[in-house]
Structure 1
């Protein structure tokens, strides 16, 4: 795949995450009973960054969890006969919490559906909201994010790749052509 366009640099990513963090505080009238849960892989560092920004805004730490959705995917059999399952780490009770699911890109909505199923097996949150860095459209399920860093209209032969320092060694968002 070749890089077609670089649509966000490190500054733009940070600016979007700060804005989303402010929106989370505003929409929830503070952060009492708010927890962030990053969808493994790149949703996790995004959730941790937003928790840090929210802490700076509100002066309190909010809990951050890690959600692995591998076994909840509806395309599991097409991925591998032996999928690699990572650990879900949610060291707090989600019951009666306002959980903000965090992911890097929303596309068809199927990852979010799997995350909702995984969360339901953990507990019954009071409310679940969704924050994504990139919304590229092309939904196959009726799922809409509450917080979006950037809307990026794409064609189906393009791939949006979020690169984060914690995973990839750099911070940027690129569009790749298949």
Structure 2
């Protein structure tokens, strides 16, 4: 892959997550019955950062969780590699709660569909909302984010890579050109 452009640096990501935190609080009129759930892999650290920011703003310990969607993906039969299972960890009952799913990039919508299926196996929330750092377009399913850090129009020949310091060397969002 050939790096084309860095669209967000560490400061831009921090500002976007701060804004999303305020939007989540505002839309939900507070944080009562709210749970943040990060979609593995990079949605988890983003959800953790949102949780910290919301806790700082509201002074309340917000419940959160981690969701592995591997077995819910619709490309399992076409993917030749063995799926790498990761642990789902949602310690809070989600029945009757508002769940905010958190992911790094919204693209076709298939990851979010799989995440909703996986989430419903854990309970029946009253509402599911979606927060993403990047919305790059090219939807294949009728899914849209409630909270978006940055809209980044892309071509199908481009790849959007989100790096977070928890799993990568630094925070950045970079567009790459497919070779």
What TM bracket, shorter-length normalisation?
over 0.9
What is the deviation of 1:80?
Answer: 3.4
Deviations 1:107-140 (A, max 9, x none): 0000000000001111000100000000000000
Using the alignment, how far apart are the partners of 1:37 and 1:130 within structure 2?
10
Which structure 2 residues correspond to residues 122-137 of structure 1 after superposition, within 5 A?
A: 122-137=122-137
Structure 1 portions without partners, runs of 5+: none
Asked if 1:144 corresponds to 2:144, the answer is yes
Partner SS, residue 56 of structure 2: helix
Asked if 1:25 corresponds to 2:25, the answer is yes
Deviations 1:23-80 (A, max 9, x none): 0000000001000000000000000000000001100010110000000000112333
| 2:103 aligned partner | 103
Using the alignment, how far apart are the partners of 2:56 and 2:19 within structure 1?
13
Which structure 2 residues correspond to residues 15-94 of structure 1 after superposition, within 5 A?
A: 15-94=15-94
Using the alignment, how far apart are the partners of 2:126 and 2:31 within structure 1?
14
Using the alignment, how far apart are the partners of 1:164 and 1:21 within structure 2?
17
Structure 2 portions without partners, runs of 5+: none
Q: Give me the TM-score of the superposition, normalised by structure 2.
A: 0.98
What is the deviation of 1:7?
Answer: 0.4
Using the alignment, how far apart are the partners of 1:94 and 1:79 within structure 2?
31
Provide the aligned C-alpha RMSD in A: 0.7
| 2:119 aligned partner | 119
Deviations 1:60-102 (A, max 9, x none): 0101100000000001123335211111000110001100000
Q: Give me the TM-score of the superposition, normalised by structure 1.
A: 0.99
Q: How many positions carry a matched residue from both structures?
A: 178
Please state which structure has a larger fraction of its residues in helix.
Answer: 1
